[in-house]
A and B are shown apart, each in its own frame.
Chain A
Amino acid sequence: MSEVEFAPPPTPDLESYGPNVAYNRERCYQLAQGFFKDAVRRARERHERQKELKLRLENPELLSRREQIWSHSGKLEAKYLRFLRTKEELSNYTVVKTIGKGYFGEVKLVRKRQDGRVYALKRLFKSEMISKEQLPRVRAERDALAESDSEWVVKLFTTFQDNASLYMLMEFLPGGDLMSMLIKYQIFSEDITRFYTAEIIMAIEAIHNLGYIHRDIKPDNILLDRGGHIKLADFGLSTGFRRDHEKSYYQTLLQRPAPPSGRPQNNRHSVNIDEISLTVSNRAQINEWRRSRRLVAYSSVGTPDYIAPELFSTNGYSFEIDWWSLGTIIYECLVGWPPFAAETFHDTYRKIINWPHTLLFPDDIQLSYNAVHLIRSMINAPDARLGRNGAAEIKNHPFFAGVDFTGLRRIRAPFEPPLTSDVDTSAFPVDDLPQEEGFGDGGGSGPGREGVAVGAEDPEMSLPFLGYTFKRFEKSYTA
């Protein structure tokens, strides 16, 4: 009898295929990989929930409620399964108001038609984001938000997309952002500053523990929940892009001669002259700056005020850049404006680069020794910066003496948003934002789903944005 053998494995041969195959291959590869990654995560979470359920069913104190516990679990799981099965699209939501805007997109308060629940929906325009080298990071950052289950990070419920945009459906944080608070109160006491700073430390620590650098810690990315406690937002997609956008923007600026109104760059004193221009006696200038800061947040480049100097260099950076940013926020809370504020971004940028000479404290504002010491330790060279060895060394700074970091969320926040309804937007600059009907241009009219149409490309299937879609199991999902 002749030995049975396998057909010889052919030599892998990509050459014989047409040019589209490489693209199709990559997509297939990523989808399969992504499916199992997701499926394993979901199975693991499901398993945890079942274990918890078992404990509750065995708890003698809950004996009378067993049937209810059982059916509640079954229904909750079923709702999640239906959620997974259905296609999310814009038309599932109605717009209440536009509450925020940034370079890549906008944030709207929306209501889900099916269950009437309120969410914040962030929309990012794909066309603004196509920049190939950045796409792996897009995915990594979306993963970070999706994987985080931290009380310090805005909760992402689901992400979806159509031809024009990516959408992130988040919990709505009705307290507005820290920028609005700073615009309103101009200055915080050291006690209030201590509270917000301590919370921000916890938040930054939580995302660092996930292995993620925020890169864009600034007051308009620090949101307040209904209790007035902070949560970090906006470390999904746009940061990476924008940061690099800024980097090249500043690098070009560097190479160009200074604008006509500025001083010649080879004048070594120019920096020293700029630095003094912003003092308390210069109130008019500060008020002007304060009025414009919202507009700056909407503009294409964004403010460089909170960026660590090493982000502008080509030498790389690490987790400690977020601690620099926090240092500048502490300064701003206590002083009323960020330490390197200037009339133009260009000037701010130069001040940051020259921080050892430009970090000044105004004479007419009284700050405690510990506050100044803390700020100076954080606005510092990366290898000497407080926080480079972890958040603990910041928490141990005397400025925070007596603060119970783990109990922060249980104490009452200094400002609790006075809310009148679930769609109260009084904490948001809604009057400054264009309030068009519905989702405005390009939204809602996108093609819905017709199965997987052969030939026509489903937006979910376009390679750059593959695997963007995400759905979180929601415990509080109501019937």
Chain B
Amino acid sequence: MIITRKKEREALLAMLRGVRRAALVGCASCAAACQTGGEKELEETKAFLEDHGIQVLAAVLPEECCHKMLVKRDLKALRGLELDAVVCLACGDGVQTVADNVALPVYPANDTLFLGQVERVGIFHEYCRMCGDCVLGATGGICPVTRCAKGLVNGPCGGQKDGKCEVNPENDCAWILIYRRLERLGKLDSLLIPAGQRHEHAHPAHLNLREGAK
């Protein structure tokens, strides 16, 4: 899931200086689960903005705010409204998808943090950096690219102390976790599988699964 956090309210207001009439767009998927862009947050944000002199003329909640077709369909609700701006309560992807489909300035209400696991409601952990070359098969299903602070794929640095990471002692050293997991799985020989050359991928990336596409 894409993990987002609400921007500081002052920062949001600062972006919206001069805006009198706005519409809100949330996201019923990740942002709703992060308590940043669901039904409840749309209502809260509406009340907050109206308290600060910004009229909220509409609020829509696409199933997925990063899905162009769904967003296009739901944004029809804004047609004919006299709006100065749209405030989007999704991740950065959602904000851009909305901005691609309205002829208005679109402002992010959230900061987009990482791709992570929902441990339980309200507790998230970064689990994947989308490196494009997954090594989980050799690391017991624990991602060193993400969960090692240095992204080391060839084994640990010398910096762990009592199993904790040198960079942030609140974090377990990912390589100790990997070692323990592989030990339990009887797969310690995986530690010697060379990670090979890592590649930095050029951005922006695209993927086309349509027939005939390369």
A complexed with B? no
Which B residues fall within an 8 A CB radius of A? none
- Interface residues of chain A, those whose CB is within 8 Å of chain B, are none
